[in-house]
Structure 1
Amino acid sequence: MKIAHISDTHFPQIIKESFDRSIKKINNSDIEFVIHTGDLVDRGYLREYEEAIQSFSKLKKPIIFVPGNHDGKNVGLKLFENFIGPLNGVKEGKDYVVIYLNSVIPDMNEGRISNSSFLWLKETLRGHLDKEIKIVCFHHHLVPVPNTGRERNVLFNSGDVLDLLLKYGVNLVLNGHKHYPNVYKLENLVIVNAGTMCSIKTRLGDKNSFNIIEIDDKIKVKTLRFGEIREREYERKKERIYNVNSEKLFRIVQIAGTCIDNSDIFNKKMFLNAFKKISALNPDFIVHCGDIVNEGLNKNYTLAAKYLKTPIFFVPGPRDINYLGYNLFPKYFDFIETHVTKKVAFKFLNSCQYDSDIGVIGRGELDRIKQFSRIPSEFKAIVLHHNLLPIENTREKGLLEDAGDILYELTRLKIDLVLTGHSSHPSARKIENTLVVNANSLSCKRQRNLFGNSFNIIDVYKDFIYVSEIQSLSGSRHVLGIWKRKI
């Protein structure tokens, strides 16, 4: 199976040479069909649609058009339906299914899969479980994309969408929106973003491009920039073989969201009970991923220092540095940048900004991460507060400004583990060779997990990583996953 993935043509703001050259290359290939992942036109006007449809009449291959945010401007989605057809749909073959759906909020750059579309997607996937290849397409990016500036214009429910796609064994997701090509494998899901095929709106001085995707026992993605081809290749089948006799290297307890204060937001009983269980687990390291106190006030830090006497590595969350917290955090808790042993090296990042939920790492810190990656430890871990990947049961807001660039570098540098602590919901996902684990709130009543307040145990063995969530009050265990290590 071979398809072309194009996106973000933005008629009439096109480079005609790029358009004609792309169409010619596709017409002269053995591609079966083409998927356009949105922003066919620039402002949603009638004349733009007329010009775009006329131009695409040169294409000799079947094509699926997916609506983008620019297509939906100025009531453009009605024109999209008139010129092209339904906003959601299914293309089915003998061994494959392509499901495409609308992620557009009219006249907004942000997107969402509506409740009705989400349920339709779920039922459609359920009805095609027998298909060997499952492809889902929508315009907005599912995970942060590098070299695209500040993380914004996100898919609001990307965490829930990602969770659904993983549960139903989707092989491939195709997105556009960010005008920069990128490919990730997240668990067993290959996520492909297309650049702009012919628009003048390129990023980083990039060339126009499109993707050719070939699927057999592997998923092969070729990004064709004019004068350059880049290729990524992934096995479709997930490895599930673990050496149960593997040597255990160390144990990390990961906590977040203690939110200590004198109000009923802080559940003291939950906190004390959780730390009894943590002590009994004999961890080698305890890492707190932020929001130690509920508000950055002196009385809260005094109380937190009283409760948190166990040796812990801390990074701040937004609650820790609001009000007086910017000065109180370093006074009460040591913030160290690195901790290095022969077996493991930790790099701790302050991703917070004063009086803001929005976080940032910055170029200078990114350079220090690159230096850290050269430390000769067997295992490398990065710790910060803000999420790098979307979390289920939360509204994605793009709270880490440079998430796209940070995620790209961490995966490129093959960092083994990233620990985060925002959004009050546990999650563990492997993207490329990097495992990203988010902690729930340990003792704050503001949490989104039906399992209740909890903390994570990360057991690192020579051959695999085993991650569990432990309920703060009962001590019940919920396995988040087991991942084979790439050594």
Structure 2
Amino acid sequence: MRTIVHLSDLHFGRVDRSLVDPLIQSVREIGPDLVAISGDLTQRARTAQFIEARRFLDALPKPQIVVPGNHDVPLYNPLARFFRPLVKYRRYIGENIEPFYADEQIAVVGVNTARSLTIKNGRVNRRQLDRIRERLCDYPDAVIKIVVTHHPFDLPEGYREGDLVGRARMAMEALASCGVDMFLAGHLHVSHSGHTGERYRIAGYKALVISAGTALSVRTRKEKNAFNVLRIEHPKVVLERCTWESENARFVPSAAEYFERRADGWMRMKDDAAGPCRRS
């Protein structure tokens, strides 16, 4: 079995500081095999915010897959935004903006969807898809293949198509033949799970699409601060939501969802009360 902690939308610069240490403690208690962070580490891509984010990452278990979000591109400095959009991200977070991790059970690739020409939207391009295919296609079906982006490939009810990552359908058609099992994202500050069969309708293919809420930001929108824990054991995945409980100042289990891969792809099996947000 492999355990992945999935965090998103940290937004250092607008965080609830009372959550930082409890989040670090919770992740350490879980003892994940991998930590995946799907973008927006900062609020406005400022140096002090990146330094805080770096300190936070250093306190979490390794290895880590970390990708930029649209907030990690400078907004108010046009020169930096268009000519050096991720220079501070590369300096403080990591030179590799599309990292990769693999072992005998999982293969995980991060993809940068942040772009200078839009304020909040993102996209993927063909060169990125070619790199994903080069990294993932040769792995056997027994290895769970995962793509991590900031912008999502699927949406909860009530959101418009424009909130999807740009060129989502082109990407899904290119990656279906590789048998990508799971897409992890953030951006909306809303927890969500589903499968690609409803939106993309590719014959014989259904991948899981999972979004995390914001782990630390005060901009919680429709739900409390939260993060995901994925427990992966081919051909099954358990998704646990860990939600901030202010009364006891800790992250607690709020729900568990069970998925299994069948002949035509991934299916939800049941939902249940979650177990503790620690190593099982």
Asked if TM exceeds 0.5, the reply is yes
> In the alignment, what sits opposite 1:26?
27
Name the CA distance, whole Å, in 1 between partners of 2:106 and 2:162.
Answer: 33
SS at match of 1:236: strand
Name the CA distance, whole Å, in 2 between partners of 1:87 and 1:220.
Answer: 28
> In the alignment, what sits opposite 1:233?
258
SS at match of 1:70: helix
Name the CA distance, whole Å, in 1 between partners of 2:134 and 2:111.
Answer: 13
Superposition TM-score, scaled by structure 1 size: 0.47
> In the alignment, what sits opposite 1:81?
90
- Following TM superposition, by how much is the alpha carbon of 1:64 offset from its aligned partner in structure 2, in angstroms? 1.6
Name the CA distance, whole Å, in 2 between partners of 1:23 and 1:78.
Answer: 26
SS at match of 2:22: helix
2:87 maps to amino acid? K
- Following TM superposition, by how much is the alpha carbon of 1:172 offset from its aligned partner in structure 2, in angstroms? 1.1
Show the 5 A alignment for 1:437-448. Answer: none
| Equivalent of residue 178 in structure 2, options 153, 168, 191 | 168
- Following TM superposition, by how much is the alpha carbon of 1:239 offset from its aligned partner in structure 2, in angstroms? 5.5
Maintained 8 Å contact 2:9/2:189: yes
- Structure ID, larger Rg: 1
Name the CA distance, whole Å, in 2 between partners of 1:146 and 1:198.
Answer: 24
- Establish whether residue 192 from structure 1 lines up as the match of residue 210 from structure 2: yes
Maintained 8 Å contact 2:260/2:268: no
1:120 maps to amino acid? R
Name the CA distance, whole Å, in 2 between partners of 1:76 and 1:200.
Answer: 25
- Following TM superposition, by how much is the alpha carbon of 1:4 offset from its aligned partner in structure 2, in angstroms? 0.2
1:213 maps to amino acid? L
Taking CA–CA contacts closer than 8 Å with sequence separation of 6 or more, which of the two structures ends up with the larger relative contact order? 2
Show the 5 A alignment for 1:393-404. Answer: none
Change (3 A) 1:30 1:36: same
SS at match of 2:131: helix
Name the CA distance, whole Å, in 1 between partners of 2:259 and 2:132.
Answer: 25
> In the alignment, what sits opposite 2:275?
none
222-231 vs 36-45, greater mean Cα deviation: 222-231
Superposition TM-score, scaled by structure 2 size: 0.79
Change (3 A) 1:201 1:76: farther
- Following TM superposition, by how much is the alpha carbon of 1:236 offset from its aligned partner in structure 2, in angstroms? 2.0
SS at match of 2:72: coil
Change (3 A) 1:197 1:129: same
1:433-469 per-residue CA deviation (whole Å, 9 max, x = no partner) reads 9xxxxxxxxxxxxxxxxxxxxxxxxxxxxxxxxxxxx
Query: Which ranges of structure 2 fall in alignment gaps of 5 or more residues?
Result: 75-80, 198-205, 246-252, 270-280
> In the alignment, what sits opposite 1:95?
105
SS at match of 2:68: coil
2:262 maps to amino acid? K
Moved over 4 A (4+): 430-433
Name the CA distance, whole Å, in 2 between partners of 1:130 and 1:238.
Answer: 11
- Establish whether residue 43 from structure 1 lines up as the match of residue 39 from structure 2: no
2:254 maps to amino acid? I
Name the CA distance, whole Å, in 1 between partners of 2:184 and 2:116.
Answer: 21
1:141-196 per-residue CA deviation (whole Å, 9 max, x = no partner) reads 1012236x555343120001122232211111101111100010234311100000
Query: Which ranges of structure 1 fall in alignment gaps of 5 or more residues?
Result: 241-429, 434-487
SS at match of 1:31: coil
SS at match of 2:239: strand
1:65 maps to amino acid? V
Maintained 8 Å contact 1:15/1:200: yes
